[in-house]
Amino acid sequence: MRTVINLVLAAIAGVLVWVLISSISEPIAFQDELNRRQDAVIDRLKEVRTAQQLFRDVTGEGFASNFDTLDQVLRNGQIPIVSVFGDPDDPNFDGVIRYDTIYRSALDSAIALRLPLDSLRYVPFTEGQKFDIRADTVTYQSTLVNVVEVSTNYKYFMGPYANPRFARYDNTYDPTKTIKFGNMSTPSLAGNWE
């Protein structure tokens, strides 16, 4: 009888140790995974932001409203580079001011910036989920300006941690929260993680 009681107590102690280890390891695993996945998505959003700025340099206009247009311009477009000979701001300059324009391939710039054109549209840690992208022009302080916003929700890239119950480990975590750069009402390319 004594042996049975000792075995039962040992089993209960083992279960309690397992529960204790689980209660400590789950929040640590969640925080590590949140940081890893969020950092990867932020890095991709920064790449999309750089691509949008390159698009603006190529077109001389606003931003791409979809990834197909962005990809096509970055693969086939040309960036004008203007060289100025003479100083148009110098009132004492008597010579002739000359402008010379050469063109550089946007694809060369995209490669130099290490932009992953084939995967730029996809949210990391998802099975083909694409970023939401919007671009338009708005009136801001009596001026017509180009705006862009690229975003996704945490629930798409957090995988098994997309459950709201994990908010108990991080009170700022909400799987329905959006991570983005840009703003559709003001001319800003800032990310909401900055």
Q: What is the pLDDT of residues 95-112, one digit of tens each?
A: 788 889 899 999 999 999
Q: Please report which confidence band the pLDDT of residue 166 belongs to, taking 50, 70 and 90 as the band edges.
A: very high
**Looking at residues 169-182, what average pLDDT do you find?**
94
**Looking at residues 9-13, what average pLDDT do you find?**
83
Find the domain containing 152 and state its range: 31-76+117-182
Q: With contact defined as beta carbons under 8 Å apart, do 130 and 123 qualify? A: yes
Q: Is residue 1 part of a domain?
A: no
Dihedral, CA of residue 11, residue 12, residue 17 and residue 23, to nearest 10: 130
Of residues 136, 173, 148, 142, the one with CA closest to residue 158: 173
Of residues 43, 37, 25, 49, the one with CA closest to residue 175: 37
Q: With contact defined as beta carbons under 8 Å apart, do 176 and 162 qualify? A: no
Reply yes or no on whether the pLDDT at 155 is more than 90. Answer: yes
**Looking at residues 116-145, what average pLDDT do you find?**
95
**Looking at residues 76-81, what average pLDDT do you find?**
92
pTM: 0.83
Number of domains into which the chain is organized: 1
Q: Is residue 142 part of a domain?
A: yes
Percent residues over pLDDT 90 in the chain: 70
d(CA 111, CA 75): 10
Reply yes or no on whether the pLDDT at 54 is more than 90. Answer: yes
Burial class (CB in 10 A: 0-12, 13-18, 19+), 161: buried
Q: Is residue 158 part of a domain?
A: yes
**Looking at residues 61-82, what average pLDDT do you find?**
94
How confident is the model at residue 93, as a pLDDT? Answer: 78
d(CA 13, CA 19): 10
Q: Minimum mean pLDDT among 1-15, 62-76, 115-129: which range?
A: 1-15
How confident is the model at residue 71, as a pLDDT? Answer: 96
Q: Is residue 95 part of a domain?
A: no
Percent residues over pLDDT 70 in the chain: 99
How confident is the model at residue 156, as a pLDDT? Answer: 96
Q: Is residue 68 part of a domain?
A: yes
How confident is the model at residue 121, as a pLDDT? Answer: 97
Please count the other Cβ atoms lying within 10 Å of the Cβ belonging to residue 105.
Answer: 15
Can you list the positions of beta strands (E) in the chain? Answer: 78-85, 98-105, 132-140, 143-153, 178-182
d(CA 101, CA 23): 64
Q: Is residue 189 part of a domain?
A: no
Reply yes or no on whether the pLDDT at 48 is more than 90. Answer: yes
